[in-house]
Amino acid sequence: MRILLTGHLGYIGTALTPMLLGRGHEVVGLDSDLYRACTFAGRIAPVPTNCKDIRDVEPADVQGFQAVVHLAGLSNDPLGDLNPELTYQINCRASVRLAELARRAGVERFVFSSSCSNYGAAGSDMLTEESPFRPVTPYGKSKVLVEQVVSRMAGDGFSPVFLRNATAYGVSPRLRFDLVLNNLTAWGFATGKVLLKSDGSPWRPIVHVEDIARAFIAAVEAPRELVHNQAFNVGRTSENYRIRELAWIVEETVPGCRAEFAPGACPDKRCYRVNCDKIARTLKSFTPRWSAALGAGQLLGAYRETGVAAEDFEGPKYQRVAHIKKLLAEGVLDETLRFRK
């Protein structure tokens, strides 16, 4: 299958690309490469690449593909908060436009990287794909809007699929340290302290980046009748944790470290537990392989190999918001987050 993969140079994309190639798919990437200076370790699979902002996609860019897998966008809640209007432009309007262009071009499958952030402030109830949306950030709201608009485009020749990813973790060539398990494990390794920046009580479903990639592959390859205009929570139901429970897992993984609360740690209103039984029941080829404990061990091994220090994971190289602010301050990006010529 010939697949257009947007955001192929990001955290998920650099894990997904080689897995798609390994399945025999032809992959063309589309990415502005905003994080070109942020490669952590490993090899980024070379594929034909259209280096372009998702807002600038033209009809010709989506011609000749059987599927579009759409990952590109501002990647999490804090980054979305940096400039809410830009978040809507990039994550919502550009995504809807991409879907419309794909539909007009005859692309049969459109797989959208949505998020469990859609559920937002949901408390401790176990949520299914039918649960109400309660997003509390521009990032979460943008994902909800894309799902609502693109679902109305579904028809005989155009099948959108919405994958609501749990909070990601795990090693990738474009590793992010602004993700809870990645961050807690880094703190434990580099400082001996597992630093909790909230009170540790919120629930969060988590899923390894490679398992997210497996879900996208399953959604691309599935028969139309199984996925047409469907949403799926991506993860495993057993992988819901309170943040403090993740800190305890890191304590058990990283020798000699202990959990501590950061000064000013306070409750986080983002709190949700997610049921992932639908994807397991529907997409039989989707078999998650990771747990939080295994992931913490993988991360520890990578941190040992590279010698990660606190200035790395708290600094501008691997923190998405800090990196964007640095590029803005240096004049590398303009106020619309496009590279200056």
183-240 residue pLDDT tens: 999 999 999 998 887 788 889 999 999 999 999 999 999 999 999 999 999 999 999 9
338 falls within a domain: no
126-146 residue pLDDT tens: 999 999 998 888 889 999 999
**Position 318 confidence tier, pLDDT thresholds 50, 70, 90:** confident
Q: Which of 113, 97, 117 is nearest to 53 (CA)?
A: 97
Rounded distance, CA 27 to CA 15, Å? 13
pLDDT for 75: 79
Give the range of the structural domain holding residue 144, as residue numbers without chain letter: 2-264+271-329
243 falls within a domain: yes
What is the average per-residue pLDDT within 300-322?
89
12-30 residue pLDDT tens: 999 999 999 999 999 999 9
pLDDT for 183: 93
Query: What CATH number is associated with residue 133?
Result: 3.40.50.720
76 falls within a domain: yes
pLDDT at 268 over 70: no
Alpha helices (H) along the chain: 13-22, 77-82, 84-87, 94-104, 138-151, 180-191, 209-221, 224-227, 243-253, 277-282, 292-306, 310-313, 320-329
15 falls within a domain: yes
334 falls within a domain: no
67-91 residue pLDDT tens: 999 999 987 666 656 788 899 999 9
Q: Give bridge partners of residue 6 from the DSSP assignment.
A: 30, 70
336 falls within a domain: no
Domain count of the chain? 1
Q: What is the mean pLDDT of the chain?
A: 93
340 falls within a domain: no
339 falls within a domain: no
